[in-house]
Structure 1
């Protein structure tokens, strides 16, 4: 198995042009000037007293004792304190195929492979990555860090997933066997426990929320070559990289390479603000865009993994979608906030509590719901059996609904294709100015009895622009059930009379329902 940070892309950067002697001298002079002013890439020296700076003769300044010259602020003290808590995680799997081997920098004949073959690396691979390519015993490398003195450590799920054997090597060079306590694929967190040994140096998960612009240190063990430290800042928070409904990543620009997965990102207090899990990279190397799982998420997941080896999440049982500007206009909302309920699932807590399609969930326990993704994270972060209060906008009226959370099912629901290749007869009635033709569901084979079926779409129409396609079933228009084209026309006419720019339709595609806001022409 190989460690696999997310590789989301193009060509290597051009080699820097060689400086001429004159340019090099100018560069050295500029560096000397910068050093004299006390500037550094990572901070500024204490301010120099203005009187001393401008009244002391130049020769006296030059002849001053070097020990008295202000030095740039660095990270050595923090690194010295936190680096011992970071470990290398090596896994072994039997009868596997190396995943993503084509992306490895150690391909036969590559510069890295030639380097390690020349200097004694087995099979042209660095220490800890030997093994036959292809089928057979496969080893992979990642990073992690201790979170307690008795040997509990955090790494990525994708580092230890399907591992037959796990070994960790400390910063001091000692190797121990470790046991996988539990994993959570949804957040890519794993908890392991070192067998044997005690009094390990450990890191503290931060209680502070990361802020954009904060300094950050990424520590890891890429390719098993030994601990490395890189620095940067927090570039963004709350990043969604399409990994799942619980995406809430911290984006950092500290270089993070393959092999660093599972390693910690430290703040200037020496606390862990995140676990490095993914990179954006055209070539497999760092380009200054890396993603870390926030410490508060790690705390919640690790506590459950330690307690029972798995993670249980709260569940209300609704299909939700964002409130776009068009949807907000259709519902008469002033802000594009909240989560729109496309459909409550049968026998779910939401359905039993009376939540209906078209409702907008605006608050959970008094906290504002910014969007659908935030609702999913909030509910998923609560334990099953928890009683919660939801503020819901129902047909323009605010309601408060109390319900008890269920347990999020471990398997995704199947989405059946209702129509196959045969949609039945293609007759139907045109819906004016929307560019589609509909027919009662009962007249189309396999479409059921509710709503109207889209049997034709003009590719240059508003309907096509909103993603309608043949076979979609329109269940509601403007909050009213429809069973024929006349119902659709009446709903559109009412929306125009109410001075709406768009109308909301509830549409079912396969086994999934969603709301679509369609612009309506005037007149």
Structure 2
């Protein structure tokens, strides 16, 4: 029988309803979140004394939030040339009320070096704030204002956060206070250059200068991070923003409030990523863990028996999926704690016990103690596509290594394919030290043709492992 037009329309609607995914949900309603939680978000104005050029072509940005943008992202105030002069300027940021008695959390770079900090509340009250403490390594600062019975935000858990989940930011981009932006979690545990102790939350929430220090919240209105950085080629938002996880913030705030400073755990190893080729050279099924490139002198790792070439797989019961995951885990470990560390050494799995110490202030200056034996320098020789010669005592002392062969020239494969460069110093081959051409030839013979071996080199004073495949005969 023929269906009437109304019947066809009904069939079409039924078909459309059945074709929709069962899990389809409407977009979240951000209105209640913004209305309920905005009162606990504050605007922060920090006054600094800076040197700026007397003349310049971009003076129109002085005294505006855009000036802070130029200095934050380009490393200098707007304008160039002329004699420097000192003047005070204001930079803007955000924060949120941590406790009813006036503690406020923000980003360290918002208040760093400020001579005066002013906090503006949503009810138009204004307070001068004092700095309780700052932690540049996590970019977290704790302020205090003289006020009581303030609205606060509830803290959530970034560990329970899932990639793809909706999140909300409230802040003061370019001085437009209590601006609300939303997006999703793009990734977790991101490692950024020079930020070793923070596993950042990456989102696509619109963040701009002035948002820094403001809260990142989940759909329950809980703070799961503070907005800290953006990745940009222009100085403005380009879809990549990063927040400090609330677990890191909470630990830092507690230490700042109780002690005025932050103490972090220290293991004392320089690490690198385990690549696919390196994983093969270590006999691992897949790349994972943190590869130890150097054990620092008089460190907890040295005392516990760690060696260069160890791959750290688990630390204190927590998996270490990659090298960037290890520093935050170690940093959060209490000083004095005795922990077990599961490692891969060669083809064997071992467990080492280490007592965590406090991160030294002079950590960047610490180096392994060199030895200084005197010996004559033999003639350079060629091996594995490299022209090599042993290090003399003076060079060993300068590089901070006990032994090694310096690469004078990369002539052919396999060295070229492995990425060896002239000036590299080969310290280990197949996890064994080498100090002469004879020792290197012996290590090559022991490894055998067709095998991939880890090679520890010094490049520019920094240790790193590469994977070198010994050619077939």
Is the aligned partner of 1:261 residue 2:216? Answer: no
Is the aligned partner of 1:504 residue 2:458? Answer: no
Is the aligned partner of 1:240 residue 2:191? Answer: yes
Instruction: Identify if the C-alpha distance between structure 1 residues 332 and 182 changes in structure 2 by more than 3 Å, giving closer, same or farther.
Output: same
Please name the residue that 1:338 is paired with.
289
Please name the residue that 1:283 is paired with.
234
Of 436, 440, 446 in structure 1, the residue corresponding to residue 386 of structure 2 is 436
Highest CA radius of gyration, 1 or 2? 1
Please name the residue that 1:42 is paired with.
none
Distance 1:290 1:456 in 2: 44
Please name the residue that 2:352 is paired with.
401
Equivalent pair of 1:90/1:128 in contact (CA under 8 Å): no
What do residues 10-34 of structure 1 show as CA deviations (whole Å, max 9, x unaligned)? xxxxxxxxxxxxxxxxxxxxxxxxx
Please name the residue that 1:23 is paired with.
none
Distance 1:232 1:315 in 2: 36
Distance 1:356 1:486 in 2: 23
Of 406, 411, 433 in structure 2, the residue corresponding to residue 481 of structure 1 is 433
Deviation at 1:277, TM superposition (A): 0.8
Q: How does 1:112-511 map to 2 (within 5 A)?
A: 125=64, 135-194=86-145, 196-208=146-158, 209-414=160-365, 427-431=379-383, 434-442=384-392, 445-447=394-396, 450-458=402-410, 461-496=413-448, 499-500=450-451, 502-509=452-459, 511=461
The DSSP-based 3-state class of the residue aligned with 1:507 is strand
Distance 1:446 1:284 in 2: 43
Instruction: Identify if the C-alpha distance between structure 1 residues 124 and 404 changes in structure 2 by more than 3 Å, giving closer, same or farther.
Output: closer
Distance 1:81 1:98 in 2: 42
Equivalent pair of 2:297/2:366 in contact (CA under 8 Å): no
Distance 2:67 2:462 in 1: 46
Distance 2:337 2:225 in 1: 27
Of 91, 106, 129 in structure 1, the residue corresponding to residue 46 of structure 2 is 91
The DSSP-based 3-state class of the residue aligned with 2:334 is coil
Higher strand share: 2
Instruction: Identify if the C-alpha distance between structure 1 residues 462 and 246 changes in structure 2 by more than 3 Å, giving closer, same or farther.
Output: farther
The DSSP-based 3-state class of the residue aligned with 1:380 is helix
The DSSP-based 3-state class of the residue aligned with 1:199 is coil
Instruction: Identify if the C-alpha distance between structure 1 residues 336 and 204 changes in structure 2 by more than 3 Å, giving closer, same or farther.
Output: same
The DSSP-based 3-state class of the residue aligned with 2:261 is coil
Of 465, 469, 472 in structure 2, the residue corresponding to residue 515 of structure 1 is 465
Equivalent pair of 1:506/1:516 in contact (CA under 8 Å): yes
Distance 2:299 2:117 in 1: 40
The DSSP-based 3-state class of the residue aligned with 1:355 is coil
Q: Which runs of 5+ in 2 are unaligned?
A: 1-8, 15-25, 69-76, 79-84, 371-375
Of 70, 78, 90 in structure 1, the residue corresponding to residue 33 of structure 2 is 78
Distance 1:504 1:289 in 2: 35
Deviation at 1:178, TM superposition (A): 0.5
Equivalent pair of 1:438/1:455 in contact (CA under 8 Å): yes
Equivalent pair of 2:52/2:87 in contact (CA under 8 Å): no
Distance 2:432 2:28 in 1: 66
| TM-score between both structures, scaled by the size of structure 2 | 0.82
Please name the residue that 2:23 is paired with.
none
Equivalent pair of 1:447/1:473 in contact (CA under 8 Å): no
Distance 1:163 1:98 in 2: 16
Instruction: Identify if the C-alpha distance between structure 1 residues 281 and 373 changes in structure 2 by more than 3 Å, giving closer, same or farther.
Output: closer
Q: Which moved more, 1:260-269 or 1:402-411?
A: 402-411
Distance 2:468 2:27 in 1: 59
Please name the residue that 1:35 is paired with.
none
Instruction: Identify if the C-alpha distance between structure 1 residues 292 and 475 changes in structure 2 by more than 3 Å, giving closer, same or farther.
Output: same
